[in-house]
Structure 1
Amino acid sequence: MLAIKVILSVLAMLGLAIYFINVNLVAKPAPTANAESEHFYGNKFHNEQPRTPLSFKDTAALWVRFFTEKKVDTTPDITIPVVPMQRADLDALSNDALHLVKLGHSSVLLKVYGEYWLIDPVFSERASPFSFVGPKRFHQPPIDLKDLPPIDKVLISHNHYDHLDKASIKALMAKTQQFLVPKGIDGDLINWGIEANKIITFDWWQELQTHQGLIAFTPTQHFSGRGMGDGNSTLWGSWVIKTPQESLFFSGDSGYFAGFKAIGDRYGPFDLTLVETGAYDKDWADIHMTPEQSVQAHIDLQGKVMMPIHNGTFDLAFHTWHDPFDRVVNEAENRNVALSTPKFGHVFSLDTLPPLTPWWKATQ
């Protein structure tokens, strides 16, 4: 029986590969994506510390595991708590502070001294190139895309489907002033209809001074790709946001690496770090952190309060859906790290950060 499952898994993998090639689901980096970037060579972007790429055998084994390994408790059995938001709620927020709300997974809405910014907005039902298959949301966003106010800035960390959602970007096109993206991603946005003069591209350590403060694009240890044959053709990274009163770090996706300390030394301390805590596994340990490593990254960043992100919305790994929360709470207690775990849709400012609230416990 297992042999049959393995054969079917390999055939499914080959079928998906052929489908990806036929429909050309690949990133379309801008022709100048590699211009003046020391991280681009051999027609690809590279991490600061080289990764060992998966061999075909390793990739095949991972696909077999994906199709044959039994998953346990990877999706919630009851409704995830979400606080509904209305446009009026956002407009009522003051313009003299930085307000924040988690929308789901790694998607975050900010009101930065009167301007609305979105980070990695994913509003689609699935984190997938397809509407009929792929990781499906555990919960709906706390606000509909159509109800969002005009957006001044959309910040993208990298081009994976759970961070760069084509449908959301196209829906935001008419109401967004600027798109801040890693090198190469501008090619896809232009292909989707975004005007080139609305897009600003970043290499690692590049900065943008705004009326509200400083935005900097900083390294991560990860990779990029949206299909077959486009791996690492666009850059990936994290974001630093510093206003005169607050300092915020958004991790994007990353394995644990020395870059967190370098970011902390240059831009820290941070009032709040939003750090990836989810979708980890032994087979991709160098590109996604365990919860224990996420806490260490927060410490390296010189963070004051840590908010775990990249969890609670999609099934993207083999661990239980609540394992990231359980483990990060345990490690934070061991390391004397302050955690904030707001429900999706809970709006707050950095001087009124919600405390550790184990909302996931009620669903176990």
Structure 2
Amino acid sequence: MAAVSMSALTRTVGRAARGLPTAIGARPAEIRRAAAGSDRYDGRAFSNFEPSTVLTLRQGLALVPDLIRRRGGGRPPLTIPLVTAPPPATAGDLAVTWLGHATTLVEIDGRFVLTDPVWSRRVSPSATVGPTRLHPMPIAIGQLPVLTAVVISHDHYDHLDLSTVRQLLATQRAPFLVPLGIGAHLRRWGVPDDRIVELDWNRSSTVDGIEFVCTPNRHFSGRGLRRNTTLWCSWALIGAEHRVYFGGDTGYTAAFAETARQWGPFDVTILPIGAYNEHWPDIHLNPEEALAAHRDLGGGLLLPIHWATFDLAMHSWAEPVRRLTAAGAGVRIVTPRPGERVDPARTAAPGGWWEIPDPSK
């Protein structure tokens, strides 16, 4: 019996570890070639402008009992409604379709830009272990229109996904705009050099009339056991007529106000509101901090992301959006369903879809 159990355990571990080296990405020596020229890089790791608390492995293990006691508290009590209409073939002047988590399809001055694309069911280097989706992607990757660019904020698995990168490589011709170091991951996965634009903070590149600025934020990186070998960032998308800010994943930082001074104000801010916790207060915005960041950025319309799709913290599923809407008096906030296209000039997506309807009404 012991031999059978050990055999089953070996098979389980083998399945969980299958493909890990490829999914983890480039080795530190490969990354270092691009990172070496940055003022934020000390030869081994990148750092934030402000001191930032990041959970250690020991602290993370100490939280395991709390996670077990949650008993699914981070999962939705309803089937998440999706909008599955395909995107338009031609981009509008300004619109955003939230596809779930940090994946959005931005339309800006007639161009399509895809942010932090993740179509995989699980955000992990393993196919069998790690957080899984709470809702399907509302559209297939093959339904995407012709993209001008793909922007990636950092290398965590819920923002940089091997399978999705390979699908975009096969179905699109757009370049990948990434912060320093992530180009090494892409090259290891087969992305050619001419489709990689790698930038340091406060550097920009123009693609088809849209300027993409790699803006500072407050987070961290890491796909293996080592952290901060690649840079993290937010993105300012600047067209001839419109400006969009994509936060990616970040904590609150004075860099928001400086970004607004240099490249704002922004017609739309796309900001994370979920996966916050008192144990990691500096690297994820809570809802009230997202509102403050939106104001710092001179934002017109706020579209919240980084909630509803993966259970990555200890708050309840709908707590981020409830807190955001409760605290957001006087702020233009739009809360679309996954897959719902928002045109700031014409529509406001209905809120409250995350609540369970009262059957007596």
Question: TM-score if structure 2 supplies the norm length?
Answer: 0.87
Q: CA deviation at 1:115?
A: 3.2
Counterparts of 1:146-295 in structure 2 under 5 Å? 146-174=142-170, 175-229=172-226, 231-295=227-291
Distance (Å, rounded) in 2 between the aligned partners of 1:326 and 1:275: 15
User: How far off is 1:327 after superposition?
Assistant: 0.2
Do the aligned residues in 1 keep the contact of 2:153 with 2:234 (CA within 8 Å)?
yes
Tell me by how many angstroms 1:131 deviates: 2.2
Asked whether the 8 Å contact 1:27–1:225 carries over to 2, the reply is no
Q: Is the 8 A contact 2:53 2:281 kept in 1?
A: no
CA drift at 1:189? 0.5
1:350 matches 2:351: no
CA contact (8 A) 2:256 2:293 kept: yes
Equivalent-residue separation in structure 1 for 2:24 and 2:110 (angstroms): 37
- Structure 2 letter corresponding to 1:156: I
Confirm or deny that 1:74 pairs with 2:68: no
Gaps of 5+ in 2: 1-11
C-alpha distance in structure 2 between counterparts of 1:40 and 1:218, whole Å: 16
Deviation at 1:360? 0.8
CA distance in 1, matches of 2:261, 2:71: 40
Alpha carbons 1:219, 1:237 under 8 Å: kept = yes
Aligned with 2:354 (options 324, 336, 360): 360
Q: Are the counterparts in 2 of residues 179 and 199 from structure 1 also a CA contact under 8 Å?
A: yes
Contact 2:75 2:317 (C-alpha < 8 Å) held by counterparts = yes
Query: Match for 2:103 among 107, 123, 145?
Result: 107
CA contact (8 A) 2:54 2:280 kept: no
CA contact (8 A) 1:127 1:161 kept: yes
Give the equivalent residue in structure 2 for 1:62: 63
Provide closer, same or farther for how the CA distance between residues 345 and 283 of structure 1 changes in structure 2, counting only shifts above 3 A: same
| Contact 2:291-2:328 at 8 Å conserved across structures | yes
- Name the CA shift for 1:20/1:284 in 2 (closer, same or farther; >3 Å): farther
Instruction: Quote the sequence identity (%).
Output: 36
Per-residue deviation at 1:244? Answer: 2.0
Aligned match of 1:337 in 327, 331, 335?
331
C-alpha distance after superposition, 1:296-355 (max 9, x if no partner):
11111111221111011111111000000100001102xx21111111112233322425
Q: Measure the CA separation in 2 of the matches of 1:63 and 1:109.
A: 35
Task: Report how far residue 37 of structure 1 moved.
Answer: 0.5
Which amino acid in 2 is paired with 1:194?
V
Per-residue Cα deviation, 1:259-288 (whole angstroms, up to 9, x for no partner): 111112222211111111000011111111
Equivalent residue number for residue 4 of structure 1:
none
| 1-structure distance, mates of 2:357, 2:35 | 46
CA drift of 1:56 comes to: 5.2
Count of residue pairs the alignment pairs up: 341
Aligned partner (choices 122, 138, 141) of residue 137 of structure 2: 141
Q: Distance in 1 between matches of 2:206 and 2:152?
A: 17
SS at the partner of 1:303?
coil
Aligned to 2:88: 90
Distance in 1 (CA, whole Å) between partners of 2:216 and 2:52 is 14
Give the structure 2 partner of residue 7 of structure 1: none
Is residue 19–residue 126 contact of structure 2 (8 Å, CA) maintained in 1?
no
Q: Which amino acid aligns with 1:47?
A: N
Are the equivalent residues in 2 in contact too, given 1:80–1:363 (CA < 8 A)? no
Counterpart of 2:354 in 1: which secondary structure? helix
Greater mean deviation of Cα atoms: 319-328 or 254-263? 254-263
Shift of 1:42: 4.3
Q: Deviations over 1:91-130 (max 9, x none)?
A: 1x4x551332111111001233443321001111111222
Does the 8 A contact of 1:112 with 1:212 survive in 2?
Answer: no
**Pairwise CA distance, 1:145:** 1.1
Q: Once superposed, what is the RMSD of the aligned Cα atoms?
A: 2.4
Is the 8 Å Cα contact of residues 83 and 138 (structure 2) preserved in structure 1? yes
SS where residue 99 of structure 1 aligns? strand
Q: Which runs of 5+ in 1 are unaligned?
A: 1-14
Contact 2:92 2:111 in 1 (8 A): no
